[in-house]
Structures are given as C-alpha cells and as structure tokens.
A = this chain, B = another copy of it.
Amino acid sequence: MAAERLFERAVRLQLQGSGCEERRMYVRVSIELQSTSTPIHKRDLVVQLTDDTDPFFLYNLVISEEDFQSLKFQQGLLVDFSAFPQRFIDLLQQCIQEQNKDIPRFLLQLVSSASALDHKPVFLNVVETNPFKHLTHLSLQFLPGNDAEIKKFLANCLKCIKEEKLLLEQKLKKTEDDLTRQLNFTQQ
C-alpha cells in the first residue's frame, strides 16, 4: 500500500452539538490518498480529524472510488474522484483564511447529533454565508475511531514524536559542541 499525504493542518472550526452552545476549537485535519495495486488497483481518500490536546479524539472518513460516486450524486458534485481532494483542500484553505474573523464568509462546522462529541458520527461541513443564506459546499460524515484505531493512531504519533525528540537531542548536542569549540577558539 502506498500513501500520499495531501494535507495536514490544525484548523479552527465551529463545534455544534444538539442543545449545547456553539464553541470554536482547533482540529487537525489530515488528508491522505492510499492506493493498492494488488490484487486490484484501488484508491481510497482517507481523512482523519484529531485534536492535539486530546489523545482520544479521532474521527475517520474513508472514501473509495465507489463511495465517491454516491457522494457525488448526493451532493451534486461536478468533479471526479481524482480532482476531488484538491477541491476539498481549496475549501479548507478558504476556511483557514477566514478562521479568525468574527463573521467569516467560509466556515468549517463540526456537527454532532449528540450534546457532546460522544462517540457518535459527526458531520464536517464547509459552509459559506452570503447576505442571503447559508450555503453548504460540502458535508462529510465521519465515524468515531474505536479503541483499536485510536491505539494505532497513538502508536504512530509516539513513533513520530520519538524521532523528533531524537533529532532535537542530536541538535542540542551539536549546538553545545559547536559553540563551545568556537568560544574556546575565540578565547585563545
């Protein structure tokens, strides 16, 4: 399996639950295109929502080429599977540009049917607000990660952060050595 990371960024969004106040929070959106060629050629768009401050927050969406056909039909999309990821990323970028405005024109919403994010499916909506109405450009349903998926996700985070920590340790060692050497040289 080959995986190509297309997008990864913490994005500010509006959280909406039933019967609770709206609030803003940052969610890390990662978009990957996974492809396998054996036994058959198959491509999946994998989108993950995580929260840097909450290790147990994980929502997944996997869109296969077949799934995309029904999504395309349901939401009246005019692009094909290949062009979809970049259009989705463009919409996210528009939301990011306006994420600190009081009244953003493009807004990312995370909508839950429960009162809190309580291991229920959620919808990620890209909503444009014009003087006339709210226009939903895209609405994607995400499923909460189960224990096995969260475990796998955390193991991967741990692997990455261990590598980053090792690099930092090496850089610190090198910085100390370099500057001490320069200092000794200058003092002579």
Which positions in A face B, CB cutoff 8 Å? 55-56, 146-148, 150-151, 154-155, 157-159, 161-162, 164-165, 168-169, 171-172, 175-176, 179-180, 182-183, 186-187
Contact = CB atoms under 8 A, between A and B. Distances in A.
B179 A183 contact: yes
Contacts of A150: 147, 151
21 contacts: A55-B158, A55-B159, A146-B147, A147-B147, A147-B148, A154-B155, A154-B157, A157-B158, A158-B158, A161-B161, A161-B165, A164-B165, A168-B168, A168-B169, A172-B172, A175-B175, A176-B179, A179-B180, A179-B182, A186-B186, A186-B187
Residue of A56, A151, A158, A161 with most chain B CB atoms under a 10 A cut-off: A151
A174 to B, nearest CB: 10
A148 B81 CA distance: 35
A104 to B, nearest CB: 30
A175 B179 contact: yes
